[in-house]
Structure 1
Amino acid sequence: MDHVHPLPAYLVQRYKGWKATKYEENSAWYRRLADEGQRPRAMVISCCDSRVHVTSIFGADQGEFFIHRNIANLVPSYEPDGNQHGTSAAIEYAVTALNVAHVIVLGHSQCGGVQGCLDMCHGRAPALEETTSFVGRWMDILRPGFDLVKDVPEENQARALEKEAVVVSLKNLMTFPFVQSAVEAKQLSLHGLWTDIGEGGLESYEPATNSFVKV
């Protein structure tokens, strides 16, 4: 395959630095993870955005989180015969095979995917409306959330929709029978979070008030 090339030199250099330092200092832990398998306590569903560093935010080590990333940290509704199986498969594996105790949906500020959905809903993104747009069709999951924020002043709509993306995902999680069953059996708890990239802030969703509060 002529289109596949060797790893860039700077990444090779970084790998060798990691192997010589962090790996060597914790090699016994890595071997234990390899031999005994993973036992993460929580699954985190976050955005693909490179600025959202889940393990850094929580100071987590390897083996602590089962992490799934997608555009705008969205969870589709349960559709066994649909085409959105990547996120659904990750959730199924986390809940039924790994038996995680927590599923965390982590949204964030300045989310490009959410902005794309907002632009579609305002008729400003014809390219995303095309049936061939993977991003557009994925962001259709969030379209119902726009109806809940459309009366918010436009300059505040993006942030409101970012948080609504978390709420939509939490609602959709409960459409999965195995998630609902685990929640009702008190074997699994769901959590919604939103982080401000620039400020380093973290807010948690409170269902009783349908609002986000600082952690």
Structure 2
Amino acid sequence: MHRIKPLPTFLLQRYQGWKATTYAENSAWYRRLATEGQRPRAMVISCCDSRVHVTSIFGADQGEFFIHRNIANLVPPFEPDGDHHGTSAAVEYAVNVLQVAHIVVLGHSRCGGVQGCIDMCEGRAPELEEKSSFVGRWMDILRPKYDQVADIKADEDKSQRLEQLAVVTSMENLMTFPFVESRVNDGSLSIHGLWTDIAEGGMSQFMGKTLDFQPV
């Protein structure tokens, strides 16, 4: 622990600027959030990618979204095996404790995790095949969907399609959680799938009736 260092100056300055402006102008609201607890309307499962700024995209305020981020916005299937499951724990907390009304799975363009899955499936990433690779084993969640894009010739089209299939995979796996399925069935919870184009700022949503992504 002696190698742990203080925050870099640029982060400290940004914090101090936030505290002196945004916080100072809304301190009563922050105190209310602290004392009354959070009541988010939705859970958003998005990628860790620093280019995906969930609160900015939707203009959300503090306390509005319960956000969970991981590589390639994936949700694993329900597996109560006693192992560590960070994403599953977040879903359980959002649904059973916070009683969110919506779960939004947000995928995006140029996803490095999805590209890693493609590289792994096409034999270009032997390091991801290693049992010790956390990223590789995580992307095994998406790997079964690769067969649906294997014949797509254009690299960009292949990546985009698998990025969208990552969203579909997460929605499918969410429905394997009994507490999610029961609330979806009784109408108190809805699941939504989105894919955003970082460069163009576009957004597409998954349509359950047509089973495809359409611009919003």
TM-score of the pair, normalised by structure 1: 0.98
2:15 corresponds to: 15
1:131 corresponds to: 131
The structural deviation recorded for 1:84 is 5.2
The structural deviation recorded for 1:72 is 0.2
Whether 1:200 and 2:201 are equivalent positions in the alignment is: yes
Percentage of matched positions with identical amino acids? 70
The structural deviation recorded for 1:210 is 1.4
Change (3 A) 1:143 1:83: farther
Whether 1:78 and 2:95 are equivalent positions in the alignment is: no
Q: Which runs of 5+ in 1 are unaligned?
A: none
2:161 corresponds to: 160
AA in 1 matched with 2:73: N
Q: Which runs of 5+ in 2 are unaligned?
A: none
The structural deviation recorded for 1:83 is 3.6
Deviations 1:121-159 (A, max 9, x none): 101100000000000000000001111121222422111
Decide which moves more: 99-108 or 144-153: 144-153
SS in 2 for 1:151: coil
Distance 1:182 1:133 in 2: 35
SS in 2 for 1:45: strand
AA in 1 matched with 2:211: N
Change (3 A) 1:150 1:84: farther
AA in 2 matched with 1:196: D
1:43 corresponds to: 43
1:32 corresponds to: 32
1:2 corresponds to: 2
The answer (yes or no) to whether the contact 1:76–1:84 under 8 Å persists in 2 is no
